[in-house]
Amino acid sequence: MNKLIGFSVDHPRLVITLTIGITLLFAAQLPKIKTDTDPKNMLPITSPVRQYNDQVESWFALHADVIVLGIWNEEGIFNSQALRRIEAASEAIVKIPGVIARDVIGLATVEDVTSEGEILSTRPLLADIPATTEQMAAFRQRLLANPLLVPRLVSADGKMTALYIPIEKAANGKQIAEQIERLVGEGKGSEKFYLAGDPVARDTFGAEMFRQMALFSPLAGVVMVVLLFVMFRSWSLVFTNMAVAMVSILWSMGLFVALGIPIHIMASMSPVFLMAISTDTVHIFNELYFRFPEVGRKKEAILATMGAVGAPIVYSDLTTTAGFASLGIGPIIPVRIFGFLVAFGTLVILLMSFTLVPALMTLIREEGLRNHAPKERQEASRATEWLGKVGQLSLRRSKTVVLLSTVLVVLSVAGIARIRINNNMIRWFKEHSAVRTADRALNESMGGTAPLYLVATATQQDAMKDPAVLRGLEDLQQFLEGKPLVGKTLSVADYVKRINRVLHKDDPRYDTIPESNTVIAQYLLLLNMGVQPRDLDNVVDYPYQKANVITQLRSWDAVEARTLVQDVQRYLAAHPVPGVEVRPAGIAYFNMVWNDEVLVGMLEGFIASSILVLFLLALAYRSWKWGLVSFVPLLFTVVVMYGFVGLVGKDFDMPISVLSTLSLGLAVDFAIHFVSRFQQRYRETRDLSGALRWTAARPGKGILRNALLFASGFAVMIFAQLTPYITVGVFMIAIMLLSAVASIVLLPAVIALAPGWLLPKEVSSVGS
């Protein structure tokens, strides 16, 4: 380390030139950046739930990406003008590139099944739009009496219809949604249009997250520049800090882009994280302005500064790296990428702290440094004096400080017990956003936008022609539709019942499953010959060994999906479908599974990171006792923060779960700086009380400055349009400020209460 610093001080221009050259190489990779917001890619391709989902889609000709267009008319859609506009919109939508035209489902694309004696006949539902009031009333009554249509394609009150638009896997849901919006807007009457569905939410979020970060990353930089200048009144320091930040961002992003790794939602936040982590250089300048007047010569002051703060910076950056890298052991792919990306960026910051920073400091004019240092010390004297008094108060009231902290931890533990693990991508948008408004409107009026599949698999072929099996599916559907979360179900049993009724002159008494396997087989054959293949493809396979109960949910909440799946499992245990096993699938189930993976993965990461950080602390101090003491502010911060999450009822979702592990690597930095500088001072003076006051005042000022800078970088995210960014902003501010206060106030109290345990035996008490 000393050789690296010495080389950088002796050859500053060479170090700066090499840094710029390497940075340009990494920056050249950025135009190749790829993004990924597909929920399926949250889990690895080897994940059992992901593989089973792919199988189910193949068995039943299902599409993973479906946009739902809701068309609402206050006066009702059953008038000739509205129906013609719906028909025209449907005809235009199927022509959009990326739309799978043959599988678009809506009033203008479905077949109406009727009978002539014992012969089924089909024709497009909107083949002849009723011209008279009487015809329209009859048409309305016929549609609203058809359980295959209500509330899947038509709302029960007749005011809304839905169009299900599958898109190709490579298509962008947001771009197609925008084209749909333009098309329907051209022929718009009094209708309102709502666009929802997983691809709309996913791709809108993907586009918005990069737009937000393109805005907030530079804005965070501006805020930090202003605050840095206010703190130090030195443009040299401001330039140095921002240079370190930009180098770390470009190196890490450039490396991952060059490796072909796509950038997910969490990784898009990495520039702000790295910008904030780079403020660790504040400790270097904070010490330099103290050292220079003491030493009198710039080069010696730089070397003395790096000798004093070098070790704490190494250990704090290594623990930060460990905290982020530990995310890589979890199962959530975007979290892994984010963890490794920021871990690498932190190592770059560490390298720059011992190369680029000393090189840039060497180029600062000595005269300017000599003129500025006294001013900086004078301007900061009140803060130093105040921090010294805080340290003194912590020493005098050490038992009270520790007791109050313990009480706060106990209360927080009670809050942690109330935490609810839940993810809902729709809630990643603000309450009145277009995506959330559309999802709410469709869930209220129609069957729901979140698809869950319950796949029934029999041991024998033709099992789905068995009346007992179909009645079992029918009973399961009735159970499901009794749940508030479920808006609509559809299965092969519904089609069989519908054909039975149609062939008996639409007599409601025949809206039942026939008693004969042969009759059911005939009905299925007639239906398969008469309607579009997709109608049956989605609910049954052709060996008739598997059936799919399509279940539309009115919420994307993972907790609600889990509750429903558990209810279904209990129901089937008590009322099994004969000879059939039922397994869940679909995007709603997938979200539920990776929600659980978030809990397991983050818990594993938190435990692994805690052990690693504790090990690094003990290694840094060559003492497990000091490792435990340095761990106290970290543990206090994490427990209090997540106790607050539980107490206020905030869902523990992916952004918060990631922060639980990140807080380990970030919150411990201040404790490392405090303990390391205290030990240095104590070895020089052998005055426990004086060393603690000095540490709270002098390095404590650097800790406070670092915390404020870190918090300011994330403060701009509070104004984001996406709630995960707001969450990250608020919690990172709280974590930094709380851990800084814990380091400056709680640590002196803990050390003061155990001097004989931590320090040489001759120290037994704390002086006044």
Q: What are the extents of the domains in the chain?
A: 1-32+234-367, 61-202, 444-590
C-beta neighbour count of 509 within 10 angstroms: 8
Asked if the model's pLDDT at residue 295 lies above 50, the reply is yes
- pLDDT given for residue 437 in this prediction: 96
The answer to whether 589 and 453 are in contact (CB under 8 A) is: yes
Q: The dihedral of CA 431, 433, 439, 442: what is its sign?
A: positive
Q: Is the pTM of this model over 0.75?
A: yes
Q: Between the CA of residue 388 and those of 574, 663, 689, 701, what are the distances in Å?
A: 69, 27, 11, 10
Q: How many CA atoms lie within 13 A of 246 on its CB side?
A: 18
pLDDT in tens, 535-576: 789 999 989 999 999 999 999 999 999 999 999 999 999 999
Of 2.60.40.420, 1.20.1640.10, 3.40.50.20, 1.10.3720.10, the CATH number of 1-32+234-367 is 1.20.1640.10
Burial tier of 58 (Cβ tally within 10 Å: 0-12, 13-18, 19+):
exposed
Residue, of 21 and 363, whose pLDDT is higher: 21
Whole-number Å distance between alpha carbons of 63 and 54: 10
* Residue 768: pLDDT band with limits 50, 70, 90: very low
Identify the pLDDT of residue 666.
Answer: 66
> Could you read off the pLDDT of 338-391 as tens digits, one per residue?
889 999 999 999 999 999 999 998 888 777 666 655 555 544 566 777 888 888
Quick one: which of 660, 633, 666 has its CA closest to 748? 633
Any idea what the Cα angle at residue 567 is, between residues 562 and 568, rounded to 5°? 100
Q: Within 10 Å of residue 196's Cβ, how many Cβ atoms?
A: 29
- Range in 161-170, 256-265, 462-471 with the lowest mean pLDDT: 256-265
| Angle 663-211-705 from CA coordinates, rounded to 5° | 35
| Rg from Cα positions in the chain | 32
Cα-to-chain-centroid distance, residue 338: 11
pLDDT at residue 19 is higher than 70: yes
Distance CA 524, CA 539 (A): 12
CA–CA gap between residue 506 and residue 129 (Å, rounded): 21
Q: Which residues contact 78 (CB under 8 A, 6 or more apart)?
A: 136, 139, 140, 143, 158
State yes or no: pLDDT of 392 exceeds 60. yes
At 136 the pLDDT is 94
With CA atoms as reference, report the closest residue to 285 among 232, 235, 227.
232
Other CB atoms within a 10 A radius of the CB of residue 490 amount to 20
Tell which phi-psi region holds residue 158, choosing left (phi > 0), alpha (psi between -120 and 50) or beta.
left
d(CA 672, CA 747): 11
pLDDT digits (tens, 9 = 90+) for 59-87: 999 998 999 999 999 999 999 999 999 99
> Residue 85, class by beta-carbon neighbours within 10 Å (0-12 exposed, 13-18 middle, 19+ buried)?
buried
Rounded-to-integer distance, Cα 321 and Cα 339, Å = 9
Comparing 45-49, 53-57, 504-508, 652-656, which segment has the lowest mean pLDDT? 652-656
**Element containing residue 69 per DSSP (H, E):** strand 66-72
The pLDDT score that the predictor gives to residue 765 is: 37
Among 310, 317, 292, smallest CA distance to 302 is for 292
- Tell whether the model's pLDDT for residue 31 goes beyond 80: yes
C-alpha to C-alpha distances, 672 to 60, 320, 619, nearest whole angstrom: 58, 11, 12
- Taking the C-alpha atoms of residue 257 and residue 27, their distance in angstroms, rounded to an integer, is 10
Could you report the per-residue pLDDT of 699-752, keeping only the tens digit for each? 888 888 888 888 888 888 888 888 888 888 888 888 888 989 999 999 999 999
Question: Which residues lie across from 113 on neighbouring strands?
Answer: 122
What is d(CA 608, CA 324) in angstroms, rounded to the nearest whole number? Answer: 11
pLDDT number for residue 457? 97
Report pLDDT for 764. Answer: 36
Q: What integer pLDDT is reported at residue 125 of this predicted model?
A: 87
What per-residue confidence (pLDDT) applies to 141? Answer: 93
Please write the tens of the pLDDT for every residue from 681-696.
898 888 888 999 889 8
Kindly compute the dihedral angle of the four CA atoms of residues 432, 434, 435, 436, in this order, to the nearest 10 degrees. Answer: 20
Cβ–Cβ < 8 Å for 636, 401: no
C-alpha to C-alpha distance for 13 and 363, rounded to whole angstroms: 9
The tokens for 227 are: 């605050």
What is the pLDDT at residue 443? 96
∠ CA 448-450-451, rounded to 5°:
105
Give 576-628 pLDDT, tens digit per residue: 999 999 999 999 999 888 877 766 666 676 777 778 788 888 887 888 999 89
The dihedral over CA atoms of 516, 518, 520, 522, expressed in degrees to the nearest 10, equals -150
**Higher model confidence: residue 443 or residue 767?**
443
Element housing 176 (H / E): helix 173-186
What is the distance, to the nearest Å, from the Cα of residue 491 to the centroid of all Cα atoms in its chain? 34
Residue 151, preceding peptide bond in cis (omega within 30° of 0): yes
Predicted local confidence at residue 761, as pLDDT: 54
- Distance (Å, rounded) from C-alpha 611 to C-alpha 634? 13
pLDDT tens profile 498-546: 999 998 888 889 999 999 999 999 999 888 876 666 778 999 998 999 9
- For residue 350, what pLDDT is reported? 94
Identify which of 620, 675, 701 has the alpha carbon closest to the alpha carbon of residue 282: 701
Interval 235-254 mean pLDDT: 90
Structure tokens at 430: 């603000």
- Give the DSSP letter of residue 513: -
- Contact between 674 and 699 (Cβ < 8 Å): yes
The DSSP code for 601 is: H
721, with CB counted inside 10 A (0-12, 13-18, 19+), is middle
Q: Answer whether 198's CB lies under 8 Å from 164's CB.
A: no
Give the chain's mean pLDDT.
87
pLDDT value for 268: 77
Separation between Cα atoms, residue 567 and residue 571, nearest integer Å = 6
pLDDT at residue 124 in the model: 84
Structure tokens at 508: 């409601």
CA distance 68 to 84: 19
Instruction: Give 261's DSSP letter.
Output: P
CA dist 20 to 13, 17, 26, 248, 250, Å? 10, 5, 10, 12, 11
